[in-house]
């Protein structure tokens, strides 16, 4: 699913309001005015082509460009093969970015017992080459010895941020392991 390019009607509106006056532009070229909550997920749908996506918007000093466009990212297709603890755990997923100002993005992964302590954390840097950039197969290979012993449910948290720590998107997936 393609991200919408969100452009603020007033570049300073994010500083004073929790709801942004913005135009969301679809990849088909259709633009439509919207009221979008700041630091929240909004369902955006194009009236022309019916393209739609749940998109997180976080307008800050470091995510709003001079032209009023807001940097955004989306994580999708997060999955892994069925895993029984004998081989490396290999989660893979897709990351899409728009209006990133060609600045590096940080992708964080953390694994924790569901409702418990974190047992793995790592990061990778994504380097956008265009205003719309996709990384179709981001992945990690995690040694099974990183997992606590026994059979447990775990949470995999993925977060995309800019270099200043402003969150652009996050997802949580649950899984089970037996080591």
Q: Report which of 10, 38, 41 is spatially closest to residue 23, judged by C-alpha positions.
A: 10
Ordered by where they begin, the domains of the chain are 5-70 (no CATH), 75-178 (2.60.40.10)
Tokens 């976080």, located at residue: 58
Note the pLDDT tens digit of each residue in 142-162: 988 898 888 889 999 999 999
The Cα 23–Cα 7 span in angstroms is: 5
Residue 107 has pLDDT above 90, yes or no: yes
Note the pLDDT tens digit of each residue in 54-76: 999 999 989 998 888 999 999 99
Residue 89 has pLDDT above 80, yes or no: yes
Note the pLDDT tens digit of each residue in 124-142: 999 999 989 999 989 998 9
- Quick one: pLDDT at residue 127? 95
Q: What's the pTM value of the predicted model, to 2 decimals?
A: 0.87
What does residue 9 show for φ and ψ, rounded to 5 degrees?
A: -70, -35
Note the pLDDT tens digit of each residue in 2-46: 889 999 886 566 666 688 888 999 989 898 888 889 999 999 999
């Amino acid at each position: 699913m393609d991200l919408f390019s969100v452009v603020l009607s007033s570049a300073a509106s994010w500083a004073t309001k929790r709801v942004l006056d913005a135009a969301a532009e679809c990849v088909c070229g259709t633009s439509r005015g919207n009221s979008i909550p700041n630091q929240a997920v909004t369902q955006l749908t194009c009236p022309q082509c019916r393209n739609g996506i749940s998109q997180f918007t976080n307008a800050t000093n470091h995510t709003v460009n001079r032209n009023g466009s807001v940097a955004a990212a989306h994580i999708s297709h997060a999955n892994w093969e069925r895993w029984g603890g004998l081989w490396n755990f290999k989660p893979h997923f897709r990351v899409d970015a728009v209006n990133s100002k060609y600045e590096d993005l940080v992708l964080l992964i953390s694994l924790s017992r569901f409702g418990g302590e974190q047992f793995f954390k790592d990061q990778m840097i994504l380097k956008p080459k265009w205003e719309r950039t996709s990384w179709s197969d981001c992945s990690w290979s995690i040694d099974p010895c990183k997992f606590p012993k026994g059979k447990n449910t775990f949470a995999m948290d993925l977060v995309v941020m800019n270099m200043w720590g402003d969150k652009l998107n996050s997802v949580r997936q649950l899984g089970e392991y037996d080591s």
